[in-house]
Structure 1
């Protein structure tokens, strides 16, 4: 059996880990994941999805705040792993750790060299890409710049958002890794260098990027909203208060950007720089996430055609 260290954090990573655990060719010596974090309004401490899987399988778990310079580093290097598999781990790996094993590969949720970085799925949707994918690549010191072992793609549909694409690509990545890792380990698959001149980047989404720019086209606003759902969530302002938008639909209509064009008991249509969108799922300040019909029958009753979204 090939002895592995697995490093990952979110549900995407957990799906890949489950695949490796179900495959009799691999022995997971230890799992490295991010520390437990306080989440939500109640600040409840929550384990990472990868930690939950590791606990269910009685695996050794490491959770350094920062792997570089940690006490855990020496322990990991002493475990005698043949290789490392990472998937959305969220930290850089030191060269000495990479050099301590026979191979190290990453399951990256983009079709490299496009969208190197921490938010590839977000940017693919925001930019209106027609497909997304996964690349299995060798790990090097430079971020997501290693040679490519294999790739697989899947369409991005209008009904997709970040959440659904993460689920789809986790399965794509799991299957691709299990299909190609044996051949790679055996030396039957020769990794292909990336064309670095074609590289694009997908850094973590900033608060400024979350804010809806109503002067953009309806399609761009539609892509932004689904490219940030269910996290970090696009927002605008209504009467000076933050107003989150989770789901929209492109519709016909023209008017001043951010202006309400149509309002009835079930529909709220807002103008953009080109076209309009119908809001479908929203969250007013201080309220829970809700369908637009519930908003319009509640705190949104006082809105009128001509009212304005935005700062």
Structure 2
């Protein structure tokens, strides 16, 4: 089928659906929801069999849904209606929730149901549930709906055999007053639940030391307590605030009235206002732990979870130090396991945008990531594995490829390109790693396509070596079994020796430093050159400036090279 994805943005769910539909042989194009006239034009150009809306904040034009089947992916159970479905599910502490695929009609969220899927809720943020459980359920339900359409079955019946139950109800927009925190009365669980319901958007509006800010990235502060509402300590980017029965770490804040109205480390936003608070080490049990090391059966596991996968200069330096410490342990394999939602998305664009000199901050950041990538590539004492539980993008993809093996969870989506960020050239030794694993022709294709890819395609192209496990727990269990088998294998020494011989041959042919210098020369021009494209694209991305058009790389119906193909196919 020919399927047009209509979305507010090309977010994680839209990317996953794009990947799944393409893998099943459908012709897929994307139009961002910019204006009704643009949507109508896109439908006229592409002539889709079905329009799918994975992520919309407003209604599809009547001129579209009256003339083409439009399927809405709603993150709520059957019968649930309204713009804050997942927010309310978290606040109400629902045990199970779901996703419904319904047909667009004049009344919002009230059309015939084509498919639905349920999932178990877990104590997590809205953004984490959206990326994992909602995305999995939405993909399953949409594929079910499309199978019904292809089979000529139509929507599910409202009554009689096979009728769909509608236990949900209309819920209004969740307001700040619906989830406001009362620090003098609320316990830790309540505070975490309320922040989770708005993380990552819009955040919980709160008042700290005379400033109105939005709270994000909250975690229990084990072992801390104090006067409810008081600030107790700092740890890395986070500040601890007391509840009635303990405390929470708040990792990031957003100050809408400040010059940088996007998420930044809480300690950065509050700055000198925190002078005098005790500082707790991030690697202690009581601290805000972004990096965790575990060891078992000859394998060291390095978990790192940075907000939205952004790895700033400090994060890279700390992770490199943790990696070097892991190499000093009496183990044989090191697994870089990332976080549950993201492995890495490369540079911390928010921190760069808020820097006094974004060019200088970008330069320090890319060099810090390169230092980490080089340390992984040059490791001669261990076998290394990058195990991706969550998605990776830009430099994070190539940082993972620096390991000897890359293992992906089946549902992971990779975005292995830089060019959408103002034609950024990229580093992390991609000019060495990508041709080495994918070949020159495939490497060129990957870097020019600017498209997301699923685990199966990534393995077929050499960006990864294996894919397995749909759930996070299943994936990690298999990772542990495989890694420990590597460590105990009788040919471990032979594998290590072969790896080191291969690295030595590559170094003799062209030193790593040469690749790095060539890449950084191009990056220096991106940061400091006359073309401001990178700085404009980064600022627009961080500040969420709406796009004025859909990139032609995903809006294939607007690619003039394909215009004849669309006309002939219709």
**TM-score with structure 2 setting the length:** 0.40
CA distance in 1, matches of 2:130, 2:121: 11
**Would you say 1:83 and 2:50 are equivalent positions?**
yes
Q: 1:1-311 residue pairs with structure 2 within 5 A?
A: 2-8=1-7, 9=9, 10-24=11-25, 26-28=26-28, 30-34=29-33, 64-65=34-35, 67=36, 70=37, 73=40, 76-77=43-44, 79-101=46-68, 103-114=69-80, 116-158=81-123, 160-168=124-132, 169-188=134-153, 190-193=155-158, 198-203=168-173, 205-206=174-175, 208=177, 211-214=180-183, 215-246=185-216, 247-249=218-220, 258-260=228-230, 263=232, 268-272=240-244, 275-283=245-253, 289-290=264-265, 299-302=273-276
Classify 1:14/1:295 alpha carbon distance in 2 versus 1 (closer, same or farther; 3 Å): closer
- Root-mean-square deviation (CA, aligned residues, Å) is 3.6
Q: Is 1:270–1:279's contact at 8 Å kept on the other side of the alignment?
A: no
**Whose relative contact order is higher, 1 or 2, with alpha carbons under 8 Å and at least 6 apart?**
1
CA distance in 1, matches of 2:254, 2:61: 44
Query: Alignment partner of 2:21: what SS?
Result: helix
Query: Alignment partner of 1:157: what SS?
Result: coil
Q: Is 1:265–1:297's contact at 8 Å kept on the other side of the alignment?
A: no
Query: Alignment partner of 1:13: what SS?
Result: helix
Classify 1:112/1:220 alpha carbon distance in 2 versus 1 (closer, same or farther; 3 Å): farther
CA distance in 2, matches of 1:189, 1:284: 45
Aligned-residue offset at 1:250? 8.1
**How many corresponding residue pairs?**
260
Cα deviations by residue, 1:173-227 (Å, 9 ceiling, x for unpaired): 1233224411233134641437778413252x54555643334454332211111
Classify 1:290/1:79 alpha carbon distance in 2 versus 1 (closer, same or farther; 3 Å): closer
Query: Alignment partner of 1:6: what SS?
Result: strand
Q: Is 1:138–1:146's contact at 8 Å kept on the other side of the alignment?
A: yes
Classify 1:80/1:295 alpha carbon distance in 2 versus 1 (closer, same or farther; 3 Å): closer
Aligned-residue offset at 1:142? 0.8
CA distance in 1, matches of 2:156, 2:24: 23
Aligned-residue offset at 1:80? 3.4
Q: Give the structure with the higher percent helix.
A: 2
Gaps of 5+ in 2: 159-163, 279-570
Aligned-residue offset at 1:144? 0.7
Query: Alignment partner of 1:90: what SS?
Result: coil
Query: Alignment partner of 2:115: what SS?
Result: strand
CA distance in 1, matches of 2:269, 2:67: 56
Classify 1:238/1:90 alpha carbon distance in 2 versus 1 (closer, same or farther; 3 Å): closer
